[in-house]
Structure 1
C-alpha cells in the first residue's frame, strides 16, 4: 500500500514530486468527481415538472427519474466499493466514471421517459465515487492530513447537492432540460481526466472473490424496501403490493445475515454491522439523509408557491428558489473542512454532535420564522454548517472503526443508509404536503411547512443523541485507522 510519505509512480509520471502538489492534485480530482455526482443527484428536482410536459408523461412516471437513480445507487454502491477494495480504487473509479459519461450521454439523447429512466439507472452507480474517494484518501494521504481532506471532500458532496437545485433551476428556466445532462457529461469527463492524472495507483488491500450471493440478497432487499417507500403513497401503505415489498425486504435481510455470517469473503460483515460504533454511524447517516430532504423539498416549494390565504409562499421563480439555498450550500464546504480542528479540540465525538446540534438550531429557527427571504438565507446557512460537520465526521469515524481493506465497502454501506434516509425523508415530506391537498386547499398552508422544519429538528436531535455512540473507545490493533 502506498501512503503520503512516498511518491507513487502515477504521481511521478504526472510530475507531482512535491507532497503538497500531489495532495492538492488528489483533492482537486476527487472533489471534482464527487461534486459532479452530487450535482446530478438533485439537478433534476427543479425540472421534474418541465420533464413531465416535454416527455408527455405523467407525474408518477417522472418521479421515477429520481427513484431509479436512488435505487441504482443503493444497489450498486457497495458492489463498487468492494471491487475497489479488491482490485484497486483508482481502477474501479475510472470504470465508474466511464459508465457515468455513457449514462449522461444516454439521458441527453433520450426520446421518451423510458429511455431517460434507463439512463438514470446507469447514472446511479456514480454514488460509488464517494466511498471510493474516502478509501483513496485514506491510503494516499498522511494521517495528519486525513481529517481535513475527508471533511473537505464530504463538504463538496453536500455543496454539490445544493448547487444542483440552483443550477437545475437556471437551466430549466432558460435552456432545454437536455443541458442538465450535457453539463453532467462534461463534469464526468473532466473528473475522468483528473482522476487519471492525479490519483495514484496503489496495490489492492483485500483478497478473495466478489460475494455475488450477498450482493444479490442485498440488492433484492434494498430494491424491495426503497420501491415500497417510493410507491407507498400512490399504492397505499396498507396495500398488498406495499406490504408484500416490505415483507420481502425483511426476509431478504434475515437471509442475508444468515448467509453472510459464515462466509469467508462476505460483502456484509455481520459483526461489523452489529458493532455499536458502526451501527450508530449508519444510524446517524440515515437520520441525516431524512432531515436533509425536509429542506430540499420544503424550501423550494415554499419559495415557488404563490402566497395563500395565510401568506405562505413567495411566488418566486425556480431560479430564485434555488438561490435561497445558496448560503447553506456554501456553508457546507468550510464546515466539513473544519472537522479535523474540531475533533482535535473536542475529541472524536465533537464534530458529529456539533453538526447535528447546529442542524437542529437552524431547523428550529426555520420552523419559527420563514416568512421572509432573509430568514431562508440565514437560517438555512446554519443548517448547512451543521450538514457540513456531519458529512465530514461520518467518513472519519468509519476510518477509526474499520480496517483499511474494508474502507470502501464500509463507506458504501454508510452511503446506502443515507440514501434510505433520503427516501424516507422525501416520502414523509410528500405525505405532509399531500395531506393538505386532500383537505381541498388550493395552496400548501404555512402549518405544513412549519411541520416539515420541526421534523428536520426532531431527526437532528435524534442524530445528536446517537453521536456519542458512534465513537470507539479504543481502536483495535492493526486496523489501519488514523
Structure 2
C-alpha cells in the first residue's frame, strides 16, 4: 500500500468512526424512552393516549423526513446534510430535556425524528470514503450498531428511569449529538459525487402524506378501533395518496421514489425484508420487557423484575448483533449475497420458536434472545449491502432511506399488532406465545423473501461489481 492509499485508508477509518458514533446515538435514543413511558406519563400529568405520542411523533417525523433528507444528501452533499441533521437533532434533544409539559416533549421528539436520516446518509458516505474491499465490513458495522443501539436504549433507559431524573434521558442524547457533530465536522470527507436533477417536491409531499395517514391509522387502531370510520378513512387516504405518488413519480427522471427501482424484484424484496424486520423486532421489544416486569403472583406470568433487569435480560442479544453484522461481507463472499440474509432470518425463526415452546425462566430469555439477536445482525448487515449492489452510487442515500422507511412502517405494524394482542389478554401466558408466533411468522416470510433478493450472477462477481463500476 503506497502513501496515498494509506492516507485514504486512515481518512476512511476516521469517517467510519464518526458515522458509527452518530448512528449509535440515534439508535440509542430511538428506544431509550420506551422503559420510561409510564414515568413520563406520571411526571408530566399526561394520559396514556397522550404519552403514546412521545413514540408516535418520533416515528411519524422519521418516516416523513428520511427520504427527503436522503435525497438532499444525494443531490447537495451528504456531509453537509449530515452536519445539519446532527445540529437539528441536538436542538431537539435539548428541547426535550428542558420540556415543561407533555406537549413540548412531543414537539421535541418530532424534531428528533430527523435523525433516522443519519443511517442512509452514512451508507452513502461510506461508499465514497472507503475502498471496495472494506465496504461490506463498514456497512455491516453501521447496521449492527443500529440494532445494538436500539437494544442498548432499552437498558440505558431503564437505568436512568430507575435511578435518575427522566431529563437525563435527553441530556445524554444531546451530549451524544454534539460529540457526533464534532467528529463528523472533523472526519467526514466532502462528497465526490452528487446526483443530477432538482428536488422532487410533489413526490415528497405525496409520500409524506401517504406515510402519515397510514402510520397514524396504525398507531390509533388499537384505541380507536380497527373498523372505526377514522382509522379506515386514514388508511383510505394513505392508499389514495400512494396511488397518486406512483402516477406522479413514474414519468420523472429525478423522482424521489424510483418506481422502476421498486418494481425490480431484488430491490422490492429487500425493502420487504426491512418491513418484516421492523415488525418482528418490535414484537420482542414490547413482549420481553413487559413479561419480565409482570408480577408472577398476581398474573401467573413474569419475573417481577425492575426496568433495569428487564433490559439486562436482552443485553446478550444486543451484543450478538454487531459481530454477526460485520460477518455479512465474508459470508456473502463465500456463499453469495442472499445467504447471510436467509441465514439471519433462519436464526430469527429458531429463536422465536424456542420462545414459543418455553419462556418461563430468565435464562431462557437471555439465551433465546441471543439467537434472535445473532439473526437480527445478519439481517441488518445484509440489507445495505444488497442495496449497494442493486443501485448506483448517486441513489445510495435515497434507496437506503426508502429501506429505512420500510422498516419504520414495519415497526409501526408490529407495535400496533402487539398492542392489540396485549390489550386482549395482558395476564395470559398465551398472549406472549401469540407475540412469539407472530415474530416467527414474520421471520419465516423473511426467509422466503431473502431467496429472491440477489440477481442471478456468478458468485465471484456479484458482491463487488456494481460498487466497483460506479466508483470507477
> Is the TM value for this pair above 0.5?
yes
Q: Classify 1:208/1:50 alpha carbon distance in 2 versus 1 (closer, same or farther; 3 Å).
A: same
Deviations 1:430-478, CA, capped at 9 Å, x for gaps? 11110115xxxxxx21111111111111110100010011112247979
1:38 and 2:27 aligned: yes
1:305 and 2:310 aligned: no
Cα offset for 1:389? 0.4
SS of the aligned residue for 1:264 comes to: coil
Which aligned pairs between 1:75-86 and structure 2 lie closer than 5 A?
75-86=64-75
Q: Displaced runs of 4+ in structure 1, greater than 3 A?
A: 4-8, 17-20, 308-311, 474-479
1:458 and 2:470 aligned: no
CA distance in 2, matches of 1:264, 1:383: 41
Deviations 1:103-128, CA, capped at 9 Å, x for gaps? 00000000111101110010000000
Report the equivalent of 2:453. 470
Report the equivalent of 1:403. 392
- Could you list the runs of 5+ residues in structure 2 that have no partner in the other structure? none
Cα offset for 1:162? 0.3
Pick from 72, 86, 90 the counterpart of residue 101 of structure 1: 90
- Could you list the runs of 5+ residues in structure 1 that have no partner in the other structure? 9-16, 438-443
Which aligned pairs between 1:1-40 and structure 2 lie closer than 5 A?
18-40=7-29
Cα offset for 1:241? 0.7
Tell me the C-alpha RMSD between the 2 structures.
Answer: 1.7
Report the equivalent of 1:424. 413
- 2:54–2:106 CA contact under 8 A, matched in 1: yes
CA distance in 2, matches of 1:341, 1:252: 42
Q: Classify 1:6/1:161 alpha carbon distance in 2 versus 1 (closer, same or farther; 3 Å).
A: farther
- 1:75–1:222 CA contact under 8 A, matched in 2: yes
- 2:34–2:157 CA contact under 8 A, matched in 1: yes
What TM-score, normalized to structure 1? 0.94
Cα offset for 1:349? 1.1
SS of the aligned residue for 2:296 comes to: coil
Pick from 324, 329, 352 the counterpart of residue 318 of structure 2: 329
- 2:11–2:129 CA contact under 8 A, matched in 1: no
Report the equivalent of 1:445. 428
1:360 and 2:343 aligned: no
CA distance in 2, matches of 1:162, 1:28: 20
CA distance in 1, matches of 2:4, 2:175: 30
Deviates more, 1:195-204 or 1:379-388: 195-204
What TM-score, normalized to structure 2? 0.96
Pick from 61, 73, 90 the counterpart of residue 72 of structure 1: 61
Cα offset for 1:21? 2.8
1:225 and 2:214 aligned: yes
Structure that is richer in helix per residue: 2
Count the aligned residue pairs.
465
